[in-house]
Amino acid sequence: MAGPGGWRAEQAVSPDSPGSLRCRIRGVYATFSLGPAVPNAHGESLTPVRTKGKRSAARVPGGAADASVDLTRLLDLVAAFPRHTIAVVGDFVLDGFVSGEIARVSREAPVLILRRRRIESYLGGAANAVNNLVDLGARVFPVGIVGDDAEGRTLIESFRAKGVDVSRILRVRGRTTPTKTRFLAGWSHTTEQQVLRVDHESSEEIPAPTRESLARKARQAARRADAVLVSDYGLGAATPDIVRGLRAKRITLDSRYRMLDYAGTGVCAATPNESEIEDAYHQRVGTDTHKLEALGERALDDLGLSCLVVTRGKDGMAVFERAPADRREAPPPRHIPIYGSDTPVDVTGAGDTVIAVFTLALAAGATCLEAAHLANYAGGIVVMKRRTATVTRAELDAALRREATAQR
């Protein structure tokens, strides 16, 4: 085909690799990779949608439990999940997925054309944490804002369909409900590769009266909950000011851009990922575990936390705890290897699942280490599911029972 600038392009699915498109543009051949086919645990070939380029760690065979973790105790905690109420204060997002096939190169410009096959929407960001908590059996009070648009309606209707109380979600006129739309190219029977993500959100500040109303609703929810989960994606609904005004039994934090701004707000535990803690201190951890431990201890102190869990993608988790009241020394940092496969299907929203399970476990009486182990099992399960997904209480229970059987 001829383009307007006189360039020529021919294209075909590469005979050598069905996951690639071979094109000739202006006489030069180029192969566009649509991602390697990665077989999952069920032998299906799926491509990880988001791998974030994290370092790989030595694969730890078998389960993730160490000898210090009592699986019967973890099972009891999971059984207690439905007795607890969690308030979620945060940025609700609608995750969109537009998928289709790439068949040819455009005549208008040297770009690939995605022939759309499917559009799907999922609860994302803080809404994903809510969704996970509901599927774990908890009662949930979401506190946040959406716009008066179709996406806001979808979010609220999805919550309602799951029996969630939406009375603390404000619909703000003229505001855009945050959306993150991924465009996925592939073939139904082979690969799927993210080629573009388009974000849409309001750039204006939340008006002061709305902020006050949000703070009031957050205070009200916090008083009635066993824990408050703060999910700050930098979109304005979760702020250090709102958190400072809460009276809560415990507050956990996942903040994408400003974890350290929550110092002195009453947060007791946080679950940053490794790059968030690196960004907070303008330092790179690389493969240096000592550096990670130094940053973890520092964040524990700076934020006045009793517990910090750093999620490290395929490298598992690092758990930092403050010294208990009756001891002078804090326990050393613990490193938990991932549960299950290190070849994830889709890691979208895994951090939301982690903080949901971690918070609910703390509310149910878990120690920091027990809560981290439960969150680690859930993280390992959720990355084997496509799209933004949840882990159910039954799935967590089954994973723990399988682990207990394997250890006998």
The contact set with Mg ion (CB under 5 A) reads 351
DSSP assignment letter at 148: S
CB of 93 to Mg ion, least distance (A): 12
Q: Is residue 292 within 8 Å of residue 283, measured between CB atoms?
A: no
Query: What does DSSP say about strands 38-39 and 45-46: parallel, antiparallel, or unpaired?
Result: antiparallel
- Kindly compute the dihedral angle of the four CA atoms of residues 243, 303, 133, 153, in this order, to the nearest 10 degrees: 40
Question: Around Cβ 119, how many Cβ atoms within 10 Å?
Answer: 11
In the list ligand ATP, Mg ion, none, the entry touching 314 (Cβ below 5 to 8 angstroms by class) is: ligand ATP
The string of DSSP letters for 45-90 reads EE--S--TTPPP-----S----TT--HHHHHHHHHHGGG-EEEEEE
Six token digits for residue 348: 């979208």
Count of residues making up the chain: 408
Q: Which of 199, 301, 352, 397 is catalytic?
A: 352
CB of 42 to ligand ATP, least distance (A): 16
CA distance 22 to 189: 19
Distances (CA, A) of 145 to 156, 210, 258, 362: 10, 9, 20, 26
Known catalytic membership, residue 352: yes
Q: Which is nearer to ligand ATP, 149 or 278 (CB)?
A: 278
CB of 258 to ligand ATP, least distance (A): 15
In the list ligand ATP, Mg ion, none, the entry touching 376 (Cβ below 5 to 8 angstroms by class) is: ligand ATP
Query: What does DSSP say about strands 139-147 and 227-232: parallel, antiparallel, or unpaired?
Result: unpaired
Q: Which is nearer to Mg ion, 91 or 151 (CB)?
A: 91
Q: How far apart are the first and last CA of the chain?
A: 65
Q: Is residue 316 within 8 Å of residue 64, measured between CB atoms?
A: yes
In the list ligand ATP, Mg ion, none, the entry touching 368 (Cβ below 5 to 8 angstroms by class) is: none
Q: Which is nearer to Mg ion, 185 or 235 (CB)?
A: 235
Q: Which is nearer to ligand ATP, 182 or 312 (CB)?
A: 312
In the list Mg ion, ligand ATP, none, the entry touching 350 (Cβ below 5 to 8 angstroms by class) is: ligand ATP
Q: Which is nearer to Mg ion, 333 or 351 (CB)?
A: 351
- Kindly compute the dihedral angle of the four CA atoms of residues 187, 188, 192, 198, in this order, to the nearest 10 degrees: 90
Q: Which residues bind ligand ATP (CB under 6 A)?
A: 273, 311-314, 317, 338, 342, 344, 347, 349-352, 354, 376, 379-380, 383
CB of 273 to ligand ATP, least distance (A): 3
CB of 275 to ligand ATP, least distance (A): 7
In the list Mg ion, ligand ATP, none, the entry touching 131 (Cβ below 5 to 8 angstroms by class) is: none
- Give me the residue whose beta carbon is nearest to Mg ion: 351
Six token digits for residue 55: 């370092």
Active site residues: 352
